[in-house]
Amino acid sequence: MVQSLTHKILEAHLVNGRLGSGEEIGIRIDQTLTQDATGTMAYLQFEAMDIPRVKTDLSVSYVDHNTLQTGFENADDHAFLQSAAARFGVNFSRPGNGICHQVHLERFGKPGKTLLGSDSHTPTGGGIGMLAIGAGGLDVAVAMGGGAFYLPDPKVVRVWLEGKLQDWVSAKDIILELLRRLSVKGGVGKIIEYAGPGVASLTVPERATITNMGAELGATASVFPSDEQTLAFLRAQERAEDWAELKADEDAVYDDEVVIDLATLVPLVAQPHSPDRVIAVNELADIQVNQVAIGSCTNSSYSDLMRVAAILKGKQVHPAVSLVIAPGSRQVLTMLASNGALTDLLDAGARLLESACGPCIGMGQSPSSGAVSVRTFNRNFEGRSGTADAKVYLASPEIAAASALTGHLADPRTLGAAPVIDLPEYFRIDDSMILPPAAEDTNIRRGPNIKPLPLAPALADTLELPVLLKLENNITTDDIMPAGSKILPLRSNIPAISEYVFHKIDPGFTAKARAAGQGMVIAGQNYGQGSSREHAALAPMYLGVRVVLAQGFARIHRANLINFGILPLTFVNEADLSRLAEGVKVKLTGLRAAVLNSEPFALFIEGQAEPIMVQHNLTQRQAEILLAGGLLNVTKNSL
């Protein structure tokens, strides 16, 4: 049977459903990863399942998000994670070892394997030929326990790459071009598969930049073939035995295709405040830059930072610009230190940050008021940087370096000859900061900030709910549950973190929800785009949100709502959104039967004779999860 690469990997891991059915499928997960902002809750959930050891081939717990220790909370979470990893059979990557996606690519990723991670940028692993998917922490906990991961049978889009990139044009420009064409909603329900003659010219780190930002398309995953470039990378990591050749069959059929001629691309940037507001950098007028930040799981590889070092060598950062650089891993940092490139960066005026996520999630290095910040990151949502009125432009390392030197948003093609950086023959291998699990039981350490898991009640048959909030299109999980140095340390304390639900949009939301006891939220298209943070479902559930009615949902957030017992509904007629306003009371009756039925049903508005017809499109499995009050309840009952 002729198959795409995506379908080959899916079929090899299929445990429920049928490919091509358009319905839900379940797949076996080989590897999992968690990070500390989501991991504490994931391991509390795994512990609640009462399974002694993980059942995956490999699970890794990374500490890379909450590394800014301004109080005891983050350090306590790290101690919990280290002891939980030892107890449950999980490898533990210590703080400072690097960003989960960069380290996993370097040390653990295997072509053809499935990877599920409690971080939306887990698809980075597609750069090495994995089927890597981001999910909520509870889904990852279930996978660690040996359970299948369920997802809608995806459409597969082939992105055919022709030609070769010109000097000063990078992998970042490829994914920005795709975002320009498809938008932040263009990948919803789809897996992006890269093919064509242009693929052979891209190294694994370049491919990983592209698959990383596939998350910004809303795509379930992105995947490259495993070829000679993949082998070269794994050989340089002293892991050649993990290589296997993988590619699509020649006559494979796809649901859609996009063709990109790499030779025609130019340096691009994404303008504030969305990754799809893409424009050629030379089309922008003279925009003064206050800050440049280079790093994140998108562009912090050895190749990226060597290129930046070559551009900055012997020069000085513009006096009006603050330049910060965060290597993606300890491997990258030590190699830069050994070959002198780190000195070149520091001599140019760069400030060195820890090998961690840092500024990408608002964890330090917030720009000044009204500042323009050029970042090699993947998201530029309003306020995500930690400064509400900052203007964040997403760009390649080349544009970032050029902007740091000139003091304005600059086209790197004005700098002369482009540096040539080859993949090293061998990377520096030192896994001493990855701790293997203990051979015997370990006591789990819990600080006072780690609170018990809240559980949702079983779904009531009748709900009378006030509309607590009405929202626009493209509401992000940052909008629902903000990050940053003040809020992230509360991830293991749901009562405390719930004080900040919708805080940027409506600072009074928590008080309003508590006063109502229970309620619902109304929204437009693409509700819940962005991060996989399940706290954007868990904290609203804790506050009594029972229903979210939207014109459309982002994949991971919809799954998280279901997992935590919040009913996600959509309009049969999207224009009915205008009939609802904040404060209006609605009534749903016969709800348990309606959830088990796939037919539309009525939502009655107080004071209006004509009901609104709504629908849920739940699978039987999802319906049972909602009836029980969430996935954890179902899993515990099944065990």
112: left (phi over 0), alpha (psi -120 to 50) or beta: left
| Beta-strand relationship, 278-280 and 14-16 | unpaired
pLDDT score, position 327: 98
What values do phi and psi take at 294, rounded to 5?
A: -115, 125
Is the C-alpha dihedral spanning 95, 51, 110, 295 positive or negative?
negative
Spatial contact of 109 and 4, defined as CB atoms under 8 Å apart: no
Q: Which two tokens stand for residue 552?
A: 């459309």
3-state SS, residue 521:
strand
| Beta-strand relationship, 155-162 and 131-134 | unpaired
3-state SS, residue 255:
coil
pLDDT score, position 536: 96
Contacts of 314 (CB under 8 A, 6+ apart): 344, 348
pTM of the model: 0.94
Tell me, rounded to whole angstroms, the distance of Cα 265 from its chain centroid.
Answer: 26
Spatial contact of 124 and 105, defined as CB atoms under 8 Å apart: yes
pLDDT score, position 455: 86
* Whole-Å CA distances, 49 to 99, 392, 632, 639: 28, 42, 8, 7
pLDDT score, position 639: 56
pLDDT score, position 348: 98
Spatial contact of 112 and 129, defined as CB atoms under 8 Å apart: yes
Query: For the chain, which ranges sit under pLDDT 70?
Result: 639
Secondary structure (H, E, C), 406-440? HCECCCHHHHCCCCCCCCCCCCCCCCCCEECCCCC
- What is the DSSP code (8-state) at residue 615? E
Q: How far apart, in whole angstroms, are the C-alpha atoms of residue 74 and residue 601?
A: 45
Please, is 636 exposed, middle or buried when counting C-beta atoms within 10 Å of its C-beta (0-12, 13-18, 19+)?
A: middle
Q: How many residues does the chain have?
A: 639
Q: How far apart, in whole angstroms, are the C-alpha atoms of residue 398 and residue 413?
A: 9
Q: How far apart, in whole angstroms, are the C-alpha atoms of residue 412 and residue 166?
A: 12
Crossing angle between the packed helical segments 72-88 and 36-48, to the nearest 10 degrees: 50
Crossing angle between the packed helical segments 302-312 and 204-212, to the nearest 10 degrees: 100
Q: How far apart, in whole angstroms, are the C-alpha atoms of residue 608 and residue 414?
A: 63
Unique residue bearing structure tokens 């990852």: 140
What values do phi and psi take at 204, rounded to 5?
A: -60, -45
Condensed to tens digits (0 to 9), the pLDDT of residues 27-48 reads 999 999 999 999 999 999 999 9
Condensed to tens digits (0 to 9), the pLDDT of residues 114-172 reads 999 999 999 999 999 999 999 999 999 999 999 999 999 999 999 999 999 999 999 99
Please, is 289 exposed, middle or buried when counting C-beta atoms within 10 Å of its C-beta (0-12, 13-18, 19+)?
A: buried
pLDDT score, position 442: 80
Q: How far apart, in whole angstroms, are the C-alpha atoms of residue 264 and residue 169?
A: 10
Secondary structure (H, E, C), 252-274? CCCCEEEEEEHHHCCCEEECCCC
630: left (phi over 0), alpha (psi -120 to 50) or beta: left
Residue 336 half-sphere exposure toward CB, CA atoms < 13 A: 28
Is the C-alpha dihedral spanning 348, 269, 262, 232 positive or negative?
positive
pLDDT score, position 453: 85
Of 248, 66, 34, 265, whose CA–CA distance to 167 is shortest? 265
* Whole-Å CA distances, 293 to 151, 204, 357, 488, 619: 35, 23, 11, 20, 43
Residue type, 446: R
Q: Which two tokens stand for residue 163?
A: 């030609």
Domains of the chain, start order? 5-264 (3.30.499.10), 269-413 (3.30.499.10), 463-638 (3.20.19.10)
